[in-house]
Structure 1
């Protein structure tokens, strides 16, 4: 019987996994510079974490979650996104009481959504995200935007743009919500079933519909920017001024909304411009979510964050033809000639590895010519040959693969000698 990988998942094999490791290390180093600390939460949570945190009206909760009942008759869900879990942990572990505020966190890990697989989009995917909890300062919004942009630029992507919008505070959103309902009601019968259901429960989501985005009513829909109160206008202007001060280019798009219920004030997306990336140009997105901590029983705590898919990032790098600078070199390939030297060669290999060198040897008793070819495939800097005659004299033959220069090195100083080169 043939057993294949589940649809929407992937095996990340040697030769590719090194790209993932490079990106993850780059992201961790970047977060360290911005003083964000790593947090790791469970891959599954009580379903209420996501229905409450993400929102009952979202596609994620209604259509995409992997939910199951355990033996204790508890409803559990594989995490479809990171923010709700982070906020749950923030409240449960009373991180709001820490002396250093705001609490600045990042995460990297697998998420799960049941959606149609396509290029760069899987049912199990790896998400990197950051969350800053505990500050109403608009400079935190700008900092999150700067970090997200630095990640893409630092990895070599040039054709990206930052698009921002404001959803305003609760008062502004209520006024805009009423205007949207009045606008779409006369044509609601022309919209898809999802939009008809959303019009009363969450009319902002109608603007995010992929099916009806070409409907004439979308272009003429009232803009949230027309309904921002004075406080929300000032907040959005401050975010823009901080971005300008950092010389970070951006565009304001009044039609930009995010698909999760918890957003307010600043929302943003980073998009890839250019051909070859497909119809979905968004690389990442996020925004401010004041009020979400209270939903989990915590104190009044503002939050700001963003998330990206590593898979889509890799696709963007491929689209722009960017090769990550991943070293492929091996330090030493050790060739042992004859059964009498195998134990000594194995011991020497162990000492080389303990010294921090990347090393390998043959495990298939191949001829010396085949072993030299293997060293070439591993891109080894040096090939060390130890035979019975060399062992009897206490030396080993070392060849520099780039220059072709060969020399004999005393065995008792060999590890130190190679480590110093």
Structure 2
């Protein structure tokens, strides 16, 4: 029997390979991306948080919203005895759960948290979309200051700027406060009900449960109907409008370009006030690189006795790779070994096994061939490895307490005492 990866998942290998309509970069590229994300977010004073991939079903359902596609169609549910869990489809609700459970507010001030890790959704796999995918994001919890919103947007842009991603646009909107949403929801329902027969099955269902989701439609006929639909900004109250105006002023002051889009609502129920989405034409129809917004009502939805203001973003690593691939980004390669050890004979093999560990302890990257191969085969392996130097030990060298150190670029070779190899090689001497 031959086993393969489950559809919608992929392996990360040392080298890049093609799967799921995209090239999955090698492990060195993943480390580079994750390290860059951590470096950029660290400059914004965000600290890393890691939550389990298994979370309570009710946490996601109550946090994300029972009528969302995530909860109604896309969750991977795991049952174990009498317990039911979900493979996390997103990380914001889990981070809020962790914030409340561990009383992170006691650390003082607003908490700046970021994460990098896998998420799971049972959606149809396609280019850049997988059933196990990887996200990075931030959650700034404990402040309703408009600067927190602008800071979150600036952090998102800074990550993509660090990679030199071009041709992006930032869409921005406000959803108003919780008290504003029902009035707008009712206005949308009144507008669309006469056209119910013209709507898709999905949009008719949304008309009953959450008509704001119709604003996300990709159906051309429904998009035409949106031209005369009520506009969300017309229903935003004074406090939310002032908050939004200040966020825009702050972004203007930072020189962060954006486009206001009154149809931008985002797909999750926990958003209030500021919402935003960063797009790239390099991704085609599914153009979102990352998105987020303010979610002041989430804490209460998942059990808090009082509101906790918060704002954050989430971005897909696979989608970042697509954007980088489209512009020919050059990823750093895995560093080759510094030294390749060649052994001739059984006694030398045993001796060089210890030599290799000594060199590694000195901080050098060391490789050697297994299986008692000939010197010629070992030297070919040394060339393929990309090592700068070889350490050659045979019976004569072992008897003399010396090794031959060869520079693989120049071919220069000299004898070095085995006891001095670590100092000689770690110091850069040839």
Normalising by structure 2, report the TM-score: 0.93
Give 1:213 deviation, angstroms: 6.6
Write out per-residue CA displacement over residues 179-236 of structure 1, whole angstroms, 9 at most, x where no aligned residue.
2112211102211122112223211111112346754212222221222222222211
Give 1:327 deviation, angstroms: 4.0
Aligned CA RMSD, in angstroms, stands at 1.6
- How far, CA to CA, are the matches of 2:346 and 2:236 in structure 1? 81
Aligned to 1:337: 344
- How far, CA to CA, are the matches of 1:143 and 1:336 in structure 2? 57
Structure 2 residue corresponding to 1:79, chosen from 73, 88, 108: 88
Structure 2 residue corresponding to 1:52, chosen from 62, 77, 80: 62
Identify if the C-alpha distance between structure 1 residues 213 and 170 changes in structure 2 by more than 3 Å, giving closer, same or farther: farther
Give 1:254 deviation, angstroms: 1.6
SS of equivalent residue, structure 2 residue 388: strand
Aligned to 2:315: 308
Normalising by structure 1, report the TM-score: 0.95
* Number of equivalent positions: 417
Aligned to 1:6: 6
Give 1:88 deviation, angstroms: 1.3
- How far, CA to CA, are the matches of 2:410 and 2:237 in structure 1? 71
Write out per-residue CA displacement over residues 69-99 of structure 1, whole angstroms, 9 at most, x where no aligned residue.
3212x22211111011111111122222322
SS of equivalent residue, structure 2 residue 94: helix
- How far, CA to CA, are the matches of 1:329 and 1:353 in structure 2? 14
- Which deviates more, 243-252 or 263-272? 243-252
Aligned to 1:352: 359
CA contact (8 A) 2:139 2:310 kept: yes
Identify if the C-alpha distance between structure 1 residues 104 and 228 changes in structure 2 by more than 3 Å, giving closer, same or farther: same
Aligned to 1:291: 297
Aligned to 1:116: 124
Aligned to 2:238: 230
Structure 1: 5+ residue runs without aligned partners? Answer: none
Identify if the C-alpha distance between structure 1 residues 319 and 67 changes in structure 2 by more than 3 Å, giving closer, same or farther: same
Is structure 2 residue 152 aligned with structure 1 residue 133? Answer: no
SS of equivalent residue, structure 2 residue 416: strand
Structure 2: 5+ residue runs without aligned partners? Answer: 16-25
Structure 2 residue corresponding to 1:68, chosen from 60, 73, 78: 78
CA contact (8 A) 2:217 2:223 kept: no
CA contact (8 A) 2:29 2:332 kept: no
CA contact (8 A) 1:161 1:272 kept: yes
Write out per-residue CA displacement over residues 217-275 of structure 1, whole angstroms, 9 at most, x where no aligned residue.
1222222122222222221121112112222222212221200011111111111134x
Structure 1 residue corresponding to 2:325, chosen from 318, 335, 340: 318
Aligned to 1:34: 44
Aligned to 1:280: 286
- How far, CA to CA, are the matches of 1:210 and 1:65 in structure 2? 22
